[in-house]
C-alpha cells in the first residue's frame, strides 16, 4: 500500500499533536491532585493551552476557521520541508510525482527566505562508468534546481554538485541499495 507525502505529513502531525496533547507536568498540587499545563476541553468545546504563572492561555475556540486552517497549512509545510532526500528511477533524472508537493514547499520557503541557500547534491548507484554517473548526478541535481526555480526559488540560492556513485547512502549491490543511492539531497546552508 502506497501513501502520499501529504498523508505521511498529516499522520506525522497527528502523532505530534497526540504526544503534545497527552503530556502533563505531573506536579502535585496542594490538595494532592496532579496538575497539568493543558486542559483538554473547555466548556465551549475548544482546547486551551496555558502558560506562565498568571494562568493565561491560548484557546483554539478563540481562533477563526481561517486562522486554524492557516496554522494547519503552515504545520504541513514545515513537515514537508523536513523531507530533504528525493529518489529517482534507474538511469533517469525525471522527478517523481510524489516529490513535487515537497519540492513546492521547499521552493516557497526559499522564496520567503531570500538569504537561505541550499546545495543540491546529485547521486547515482554504482552501475555505469564514473564519468556517466557524474553526469547523471548533475542532471538529477539540475532537474531539482529547475523545478525549485520555476516554483519561486531564486537561482542565486541554489548550488548543484554531483557526487555520482562516490557517496552511497547504502553499500551493497542489490536493487534495494541501488534505489536508495539514486537520489538528490538538499543541504541547507
Q: Which CATH number does the domain housing residue 171 bear? A: 3.30.1330.60
Give the pLDDT of residue 11.
Answer: 58
Residues 69 and 90 in one domain: no
Dihedral class, residue 17 (left if φ above 0, else alpha if ψ from -120 to 50, else beta): alpha
Q: What is the tally of structural domains in the chain? A: 2
Residues 58 and 135 in one domain: no
Residues 62 and 105 in one domain: no
- pLDDT band at residue 6 under the 50/70/90 scheme: low
In a domain, 155, yes or no: yes
List, for residues 13-38, the tens digit of each pLDDT value: 555 554 555 554 544 455 554 444 44
Of 42 and 91, the structure prediction assigns the larger pLDDT to 91
Share of the chain above pLDDT 70, in %: 67
Residues 112 and 137 in one domain: yes
Q: Which residues contact 13 (CB under 8 A, 6 or more apart)?
A: 72, 75, 76, 79
C-alpha dist (Å) from residue 189 to 63, 66, 78, 131: 35, 33, 17, 28
Range(s) of the domain holding residue 45: 35-73
Please tell me the distance from the alpha carbon of residue 151 to that of residue 148, in angstroms, as a whole number.
5
Please tell me the distance from the alpha carbon of residue 165 to that of residue 93, in angstroms, as a whole number.
15
Inter-residue contact 166 to 126 (CB < 8 Å):
no
Reply yes or no on whether the pLDDT at 42 is more than 90.
no
Name which of 21, 38, 14 is nearest 6 in CA terms: 14
Residues 88 and 174 in one domain: yes
Give the pLDDT of residue 75.
Answer: 72
In a domain, 122, yes or no: yes
Please tell me the distance from the alpha carbon of residue 72 to that of residue 13, in angstroms, as a whole number.
9
Look over the chain and give the mean of its residue pLDDT values, rounded to a whole number: 79
Please tell me the distance from the alpha carbon of residue 115 to that of residue 135, in angstroms, as a whole number.
29
| Assigned C-alpha cell, 17 | 499533536
Residues 110 and 134 in one domain: yes
Inter-residue contact 143 to 94 (CB < 8 Å):
yes
Dihedral class, residue 50 (left if φ above 0, else alpha if ψ from -120 to 50, else beta): beta
Amino acid at each position: 500500500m502506497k501513501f502520499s507525502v501529504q498523508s505521511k505529513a498529516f499522520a506525522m502531525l497527528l502523532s505530534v499533536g497526540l504526544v503534545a496533547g497527552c503530556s502533563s507536568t505531573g506536579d502535585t498540587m496542594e490538595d494532592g491532585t496532579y496538575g497539568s499545563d493543558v486542559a483538554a476541553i473547555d466548556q465551549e468545546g475548544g482546547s486551551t493551552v496555558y502558560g506562565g504563572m498568571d494562568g493565561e492561555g491560548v484557546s483554539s475556540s478563540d481562533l477563526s476557521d481561517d486562522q486554524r486552517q492557516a496554522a494547519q497549512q503552515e504545520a504541513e509545510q514545515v513537515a514537508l520541508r523536513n523531507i530533504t532526500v528525493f529518489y529517482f528511477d534507474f538511469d533517469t533524472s525525471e522527478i517523481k510525482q510524489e516529490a513535487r508537493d515537497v519540492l513546492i514547499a521547499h521552493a516557497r520557503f526559499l522564496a520567503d527566505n531570500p538569504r537561505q541557500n541550499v546545495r543540491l547534491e546529485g547521486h547515482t548507484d554504482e552501475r555505469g562508468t564514473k564519468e556517466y554517473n557524474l553526469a547523471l548526478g548533475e542532471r538529477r541535481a539540475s532537474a531539482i534546481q529547475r523545478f525549485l526555480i520555476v516554483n519561486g526559488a531564486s537561482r542565486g540560492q541554489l548550488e548543484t554538485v554531483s557526487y555520482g556513485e562516490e557517496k552511497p547512502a547504502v553499500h551493497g549491490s542489490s536493487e534495494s541499495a541501488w534505489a536508495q543511492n539514486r537520489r538528490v539531497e538538499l543541504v541547507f546552508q
